[in-house]
A and B are shown apart, each in its own frame.
Chain A
Amino acid sequence: MIGSSALAWIKDILDPQQRGWEEFYRNRWQHDKVVRSTHGVNCTGSCTWMIYVKNGLVTWELQGLDYGALESGLPPYEPRGCQRGITFSWHLYSPTRVRYPYIRGALLDLWKKARAMHDDPVAAWKSLVEDPQARRRWQQARGKGGLRRTDWDTVLEIMAASNVHTIKTHGPDRIIGFSPIPAMSMISHACGSRMLQLMGGVLISFYDWYCDLPPASPEAWGEQTDVPESADWFNAKLLAVMGSNLNMTRTPDCHFACEARHNGSKMWVFAPDFNQVAKYADEWVAINAGQDGAWWMAVNHVLLKEFHHDRQTPYFTDYLKKYSDSPYLVELIEDGAEYRCGQLLRANRLAAYRGVENGDWKFLMWDQAEKRPKMPMGSAGFRWGKEKGKWNLVLQDGLDQSAIDPMLTFLSDHDAVLQVRFDDFGQASTISRGVPVRRIATADGRTALVTTVFDLLMAQYGVPRGLGKGYPRNYDDDAPYTPAWAEKYTGMGRETLIRFAREWAATAEKTGGKCTIIIGAGINHWYHGNLIYRAGIHALILCGCVGVNGGGLAHYVGQEKLAPMEPWSAIAFAKDWLPAPRLQNGPSFHYVHTDQWRYEKEFSDYHALPVSSERSALAGGHTMDVQVRAVRSGWLPFYPQFNRNSLEIVREARAAGAESDAEVVDYVVEELKSGRLKFAVEDPDAPENWPRVWYIWRGNALLASAKGHEYFLKHYLGTHTNAIAEDLAKDSVKEVVWRDEAPEGKLDLVVDLNFRMDSSALYSDIILPAATWYEKADLNSTDMHSFIHPLSAAVPPCWESKTDWQIFRAIAEKFSELAARHFPDPIADLVASPLAHDSPAEIAQPDMKDWKAGEVEAVPGLTMPALKVVERDYKNLARQYISFGPSARKNGLGAHGTHYGIEPEYDEALRTRPTVAWEGHSYPSLAEDQHVCDVILNFATVTNGELSHRAYREMEEKVGLPLAHLAEKQRSVRTSFEDIVSRPRRLLNSPMWSGLTNDGRPYAPFTYNVECLVPWRTLTGRQHLYLDHPLYLEFGEHLPTHKPKPSATQYADLQFTEEAGPTLMLNYLTPHGKWHIHSTYGDNFRMTTLSRGVEPLWLNDQDAAAIDVADNDWVELFNDHGVMVTRAAVSARIPRGICLVYHAPERTCSIPKSPLRKYRRAGGHNSLTRTRLKPNLMAGGYGQFTYHLNYWGPVGCNRDTHILVRKLPDLKW
């Protein structure tokens, strides 16, 4: 029968009985229940998933398909979900699941002994941590096995005791917490944060520490990050994708980019390797790693020359005048025979505006019609003045309301052409170029020499305009920033670049700005990432691409968009009870406390600075010194605050006679001025300044995000380390106390909440079993789409796990129980906070004067950190935790500079929703996870239309223009948790966000600003091409520029490392990977099966051959910081000279030992990194350069790292 009559085998209808067996597969498919949830993981995906339950167990998951449709003509949002998300059901019952509380055995034994001797748990804890031998015993056991299953009562008591002891002995700001990216499961984040803030502890930031914060966004827009939702890519007619591997990291959204191509959009992909997203490219630009900035600088050269100078493009010119700082007047400073760039000319320097309110913070344009400088509205001075209604982008003079037609350039109408000095960092030299200038008489009888920002840009980019020498002759002239110049860096030819620039501009001109840059960590993680971003942002602004659908900068790294921010932040930062949270920027915290500052010398070793400029002490020297200064001047936060207990300080002040809070603050200022009280950052290695207790939840703080992981092990944990770097900073630091012996093991206790045994869990003292994302109620939002949806419980928390909210509630309850004895009465704490963005502190410091040097008076909140007395009620902390507190009702809510009252809604909630009552008062309940979700949804502008309307009304008063119509149609919308469980709901228009979403319009940032003339939250209120902060001028970053990548020698990762046999030095890149979201899922055997069983080292085939490495060989990667052992994925896809280890493998699975480091267990990808902070990102108290958590500050970059690689000589487990 076979072969000859094959078709006989294909029966149309078989005997029905024979098909009864088909039930076999039907039975498998059958299930009992389907529940909506998602994955609270930091991928920004925010995908809605349906979880299938069979026999009471979760069996599998498939994507939900019920996102609402956006406007017609757009592809739908479905399905959303990726290969990683779809494996999550494995984790619930997997062998890595943390099912019970665990504790380090060495600690448990000591604790039991101590507890037997002390009736009071606090006394027991004190006896342990004050016994150096005992303390070292469990510290040195960290990460080395010996975990024991224990019970909740034991660990709750230890944690509560350690909290009480730490507060009493050192101060509450020695208790720290870290949990990343709230938006991915915001209730689960808010819980630990809330408990800590009620206690006076410290929450460490994440977005900047992860280096996901793009500093160029605050620089240009005064905005942490605001980006189009992915559906808006479809509206882009030119997509430039760089440093963002959409397939890997934007998996559920990638289709929009592909589908846009089928709608006639052009796609350019920039990547050194042929990566996944390059498969979609019409043109794949095989750019040299980290040189994207040079590309954009030259693109901008072409854009300015061809579309702004040779021919003026009306759309572009009009846009620049209305929405950018290009027409603003900049003062030029005489400097020898030449001039250099200065700050924006302040309005009050002119007689006409001498007496205006906040005249230092109002600026000038040259009006073409009346031929005089005028003072446009909308700047920070208008925002924070008493006079309201002039903070807008209407081009009128702020004094006489006359119209302004700003002059972009003085090219055809100037008083002089002066030679201005520009930096050429590539050649470590300067260039002198002619700039057209006007002379303006100032009120004090001097003459100010001014030009426009636009003219400075033309000169900086080197566009020849007949202004004399110093300019390149043409595109082929190798001078900054021509297409020929760019070739040296990018490796890409000028013809391709020029063609790109022309396509870019032509597309923008034809479509009104529909060019989008999709950008991400591949760019942002370089030391000079802000400059690369900024160059791209310039191309967008120069062609009117920002604030339009289909245009703009689409930066997606880290799920930073927590849509219902106002009520969430009130809860998370306990602002409903207390006025001042302790919020710490992670990069500074870890750089200082893990002592990474000790392992480097001057930052000028690797950071190119202007060769011949006037510089203060800040533009040179050691990063740590700038850090100390930044804390002292209130630019950045730092905790612990002081070298004394912040509770004790208030007690001392009162003992010394201070009665009011103001007098307490005065006392503290005097103590600081006299030097009797010091900032802890000035002596971080002193035991009184160490952080002591660390709570980690929802993140892998000890490895995945720990740049300088081995220094974490050494200085935080006090356990083994594979770092071999030695102290270098001693002779370089001036502002910080140098201690020859670096402390090891600063932390008394490390607690990790986790559902899996990840690297952080493995190294913690206490591991608490946390509910998974299929076992709890929570909220989830993202910037990838404009919907909010829930996590909900498909099954109850398995084994002994609890939700994060209930875990911190339990810790709070035990703490309050012990506090009843140790803190029977409320106690006053003194909280220091940095100058805050979206507050009047944005106009605090027009220049960089140091109170310590006597240059300026020490005034809290102005020239130094703000200081506030805060009453803490530890005995009632657990009750506060579960109660939505009265301050929210009294003060209202707001975020990003918005505000609205909630009294009617709060009172209604007391009548209609769950409440808790204690000491005679009732409060809306936060006792259960779902209560918290509902409070957030009920009080947020994006989910409650009436509140959005109210917030717009308040904004109208500030702006002086109609806005409330944006919320008119949505006023009756109210969203509950049940609503979003039934279906994801679209976010409403809200003044807190800069995009408009009416009628299914996709969210695109800054459309609100462009269409409603609401200013950006910057110095001028416009988009900033020019950054005139004095520190930026000193660092030569006032103009967009190109600074060379730090070389391997300069960056000094290999100073103490010796070659061992045939080795190869490679630039070590850690882009986001395909088989994990950070470390999550990377230990899932499904993901390792689809990859190679480990996260391999990807390297070029010729590079591999040079050290005799074949595909799948074991290799050893090492530098001063540590070592990693993995296998090689040899591929011609990878260019020579670089290598990839995709971020972020665990060090728990399949890690052999390292022959080079005494056969100790090798580490993870962050064993090879160490962070270096960029000092000019520490500026503060000045317009958009004003601190806010996860908004501003240096970022934890690590992309410029170099390693050595060799074939592993000896595989040992």
Chain B
Amino acid sequence: MNIRAQISVVFHLDKCLGCHTCSLACKNIWTDRPGTEYMWWNNVETKPGAGYPSLWEDQQKYKGGWDAGGKLKSTSKSRIVANIFHHPSMPTMDDYYEPWTYDYQELFNAPEGADQPTARPISLVTGKHIDIEAGPNWDDDLGGSPIYAAHDPNLAGLTAQQRQQLFAVEQLVFFYLPRICNHCLNPACVAACPSAALYKRGEDGIVLLDQKRCRAWRACVPACPYKKSYYNWSTGKSEKCILCFPRIETGQAPACFHACVGRIRYLGVLLYDADRIREAAARPNDELIDAHRSLILDPFDPEVIAGARKCNMPESTIAAAQKSPVYQYVKVWKLALPPHVEFRTLPMLFYVPPMAPVMAARQGDALNHVSQDLFHDIEQARVPIAYLANLLAAGNESKIGYALRKQKAVRWYRRAQTVGDVDAQTALRMLREADCSAEEADAIYRLTALSTFEERFVIPAGHRELGVEALQDPLKHKQQAGFGFIAGPRRGL
């Protein structure tokens, strides 16, 4: 066993309200500079929808991730040189958007005229007037649904009836999918970089892109199937989500986690066996979820603890792994699932699938709901299991059904406890059928509904003194920190 620590995260999609506060917390701090305008290290998508960049999930188009044989789809040794100047599956500005602002000064400076002045949109790329045709969140809340939602790649393979579920009664259903870099165990971006500018940090698994080493090959951009590496046209370096490592290192949640008002996000350490990554990533689609989960080790297992110690893992990290809410959601409760595990990068961001309102049927002039169920009728919900399975389980519907059934059973159980209009025996039976004990149900309820900041984010000690010590005596560092001139990354070699 090669036991490593990975800071991993869970996004509870049932709780997401689609506000994008996360995106902006990130933007203010990290991508508010020339060249980064179009970068949304954190973005939120309406599903069904095309996402950002448009149709990123379509690997026919973008060729991201790995094939089952362990080869990158985007490039290979033989193609890399040929593709240096033109990469055929590189997203273009049309797949992103042309960032813009407005000519606000016109409002102050327009001379008196016959009509009201207006601030026209101007391109942040060219500085000229622009006709806005796309944005990073263009199909928010199903805007342009006939164009965008209708072409969501996750609709592939859905039956006519399942599509009807989504598109029922002339109105669509939707939910939100917030996305950051998955800090994968098997990151295609890292593998694709000809300059070895990308690496995965040993202490926490955060994938970083070295702003000194980057040589603008941009191979990471197409390689990442989630399109979470972006090219900075101003510095000539690619950049990506850094999981706010300066905050993590100082015991603070990443900005997008901090800012999440839906309280949907959880962060904690997972211990995994690095020796088994390749094997897990090579399994057939329907085994991928289990294979991925099996990499995650039990932090209470004495053997695992001993192995971790052997790998020089600090005790504080092991302790953090034992308190990790992510471990509960992913491994113990099996409520959280990785996105598009079939891309085979082994993403370490997991989603709890959302519940959805029940369908309705038209009877004469009136609509009636088709289910009498008190809560979420899994079979009759407007979001079909098949759709969620395409997104979160490589098509494996049983994994989605399991997670939804358990969520529902916990609700029944809590109903029985707090109202008493549903029978306690029925609630316990539902729990059993959902593979859940009463204790587990209480724990799920508490972490889902009541958890505090400290319970949601269990951040391992940063031990920066060790990191500094590798370069310099920490006392000297303390005395000297902040003096000197800082140079940003520059374009070129």
Which chain A residues (41-94) contact chain B, with CB distance < 8 Å?
59-63, 65, 73-76, 78-83, 85-87, 89, 94
CA distance A1111 to B148 in the complex (A): 10
List the one stretch of A271-279, A605-613, A886-894, A971-979 in contact with chain B.
A271-279
CA distance A1131 to B148 in the complex (A): 10
Q: How far is the CB of A924 from chain B (nearest CB, A)?
A: 39
Of chain B, the residue at the smallest CB distance from A95 is: B104
Q: Is the CB of A9 within 8 A of B258?
A: no
- Indicate if A371 sits at the interface (CB-CB under 8 A): no
Instruction: Type the 1/0 row for B408-429, where 1 means its CB is closer than 8 Å to any CB of A.
Output: 0011111111111100000000
- Indicate if B24 sits at the interface (CB-CB under 8 A): yes
- Indicate if B187 sits at the interface (CB-CB under 8 A): yes
- Indicate if A649 sits at the interface (CB-CB under 8 A): no
Q: Is the CB of B261 within 8 A of A143?
A: no
Instruction: Type the 1/0 row for A25-55, where 1 means its CB is closer than 8 Å to any CB of B.
Output: 1111110000000000000000000000000
- Indicate if B374 sits at the interface (CB-CB under 8 A): yes
Q: Is the CB of A12 within 8 A of B135?
A: no
A10-B171 in contact given A76-B452, A83-B23 (Cβ < 8 Å): no
- Indicate if B82 sits at the interface (CB-CB under 8 A): no
Q: Is the CB of B414 within 8 A of A263?
A: yes
Which chain A residues (1065-1113) contact chain B, with CB distance < 8 Å?
1074, 1083, 1085-1086, 1088-1094, 1096, 1098, 1100-1101, 1111-1112
Q: Is the CB of A1089 within 8 A of B145?
A: no
Q: Is the CB of B173 within 8 A of A274?
A: yes
- Indicate if A349 sits at the interface (CB-CB under 8 A): no
* Best-surrounded residue of B135, B171, B451 (most CB of chain A within 10 A): B171
List the one stretch of B10-18, B157-165, B226-234, B300-308 in contact with chain A.
B10-18
Q: Is the CB of A258 within 8 A of B14?
A: yes
- Indicate if A16 sits at the interface (CB-CB under 8 A): yes
CA distance A102 to B19 in the complex (A): 36
Q: Is the CB of A23 within 8 A of B368?
A: no
Q: Is the CB of B144 within 8 A of A1149?
A: no
Of chain A, the residue at the smallest CB distance from B124 is: A1085
- Indicate if B309 sits at the interface (CB-CB under 8 A): no
Q: Is the CB of B30 within 8 A of A1133?
A: no
Instruction: Type the 1/0 row for A275-292, where 1 means its CB is closer than 8 Å to any CB of B.
Output: 110111111101000000
Q: Which of A10, A255, A1089, A1131 contacts B199 (CB 8 A)?
A: A10
A282-B358 in contact given A76-B452, A94-B104 (Cβ < 8 Å): yes
Which chain B residues (184-212) contact chain A, with CB distance < 8 Å?
186-187, 190-194, 196, 198-200, 202, 208, 210-212
Instruction: Type the 1/0 row for A383-411, where 1 means its CB is closer than 8 Å to any CB of B.
Output: 00000000000000000000000000000
A264-B411 in contact given A274-B171, A507-B421, A1090-B23 (Cβ < 8 Å): yes
List the one stretch of B84-92, B114-122, B286-294 in contact with chain A.
B114-122
Q: Is the CB of B112 within 8 A of A1148?
A: no
Which residues of chain B are near A463, meaning CB under 8 Å?
Answer: none
Q: Is the CB of A1150 within 8 A of B118?
A: yes
- Indicate if B388 sits at the interface (CB-CB under 8 A): no
Q: Which of A28, A491, A514, A1129 contacts B143 (CB 8 A)?
A: A1129
- Indicate if A494 sits at the interface (CB-CB under 8 A): yes
Q: Which of B121, B141, B249, B358 contacts A1074 (CB 8 A)?
A: B141
List the one stretch of B68-76, B320-328, B396-404 in contact with chain A.
B68-76
Of chain A, the residue at the smallest CB distance from B277 is: A7
Which residues of chain B are near A1161, meaning CB under 8 Å?
Answer: 115-116, 118
Q: How far is the CB of B184 from chain A (nearest CB, A)?
A: 10
A146-B111 in contact given A2-B77, A276-B141, A1136-B170 (Cβ < 8 Å): yes
CA distance A83 to B26 in the complex (A): 11
Q: Is the CB of B70 within 8 A of A145?
A: no
Q: How many A-B residue pairs have C-beta atoms within 8 angstroms? Tell me.
A: 406
- Indicate if A1048 sits at the interface (CB-CB under 8 A): no
Q: In which size bucket is the chain A interface?
A: 35 or more
Q: Is the CB of B416 within 8 A of A1133?
A: no
A762-B19 in contact given A81-B259, A261-B411 (Cβ < 8 Å): no
CA distance A1096 to B470 in the complex (A): 55
- Indicate if A17 sits at the interface (CB-CB under 8 A): yes
Of chain A, the residue at the smallest CB distance from B262 is: A255
Q: Is the CB of B77 within 8 A of A757?
A: no
- Indicate if A331 sits at the interface (CB-CB under 8 A): no
Q: How far is the CB of B195 from chain A (nearest CB, A)?
A: 11
Which residues of chain B are near A1101, meaning CB under 8 Å?
Answer: 145-146
A1090-B140 in contact given A263-B445, A1153-B115 (Cβ < 8 Å): yes
- Indicate if A1130 sits at the interface (CB-CB under 8 A): yes
Q: Is the CB of B450 within 8 A of A75?
A: yes
Q: Is the CB of B141 within 8 A of A491?
A: no
Which residues of chain A are near B372, meaning CB under 8 Å?
Answer: 499
Of chain A, the residue at the smallest CB distance from B444 is: A262
A24-B488 in contact given A82-B19, A254-B17, A255-B263 (Cβ < 8 Å): yes
- Indicate if A237 sits at the interface (CB-CB under 8 A): yes
Which chain A residues (177-224) contact chain B, with CB distance < 8 Å?
none
- Indicate if A269 sits at the interface (CB-CB under 8 A): yes
Of chain B, the residue at the smallest CB distance from A273 is: B171
Q: Is the CB of A12 within 8 A of B202?
A: yes
- Chosen A-B contacts, 8 in total, with CB atoms closer than 8 Å, are A6-B66, A10-B190, A19-B467, A63-B259, A234-B449, A262-B414, A499-B369, A1090-B135
Q: Pick the 6 closest A-B CB pairs, nearest first.
A: A146-B112, A264-B415, A264-B414, A145-B110, A493-B368, A16-B470
Residue numbers of B with Cβ under 8 A of A are 4, 14-15, 17-21, 23-25, 27-30, 66, 70-72, 75-77, 80, 99-102, 104-105, 107-121, 129, 132-133, 135-138, 140-147, 149, 167, 169-176, 186-187, 190-194, 196, 198-200, 202, 208, 210-213, 242, 244-247, 249, 255, 258-263, 274, 277-278, 354-358, 360, 363, 365-369, 372, 374-376, 382, 407, 410-421, 445, 448-453, 467, 470-471, 482, 486, 488-489
Residue numbers of A with Cβ under 8 A of B are 1-4, 6-7, 9-14, 16-30, 59-63, 65, 73-76, 78-83, 85-87, 89, 94-96, 102, 105-106, 141, 143-147, 234, 237, 246-247, 251-252, 254-255, 258-266, 269, 273-276, 278-284, 286, 487-488, 490-496, 499, 503, 506-507, 510-511, 514, 720, 757, 762, 1074, 1083, 1085-1086, 1088-1094, 1096, 1098, 1100-1101, 1111-1112, 1129-1133, 1135-1136, 1147-1153, 1160-1161, 1213
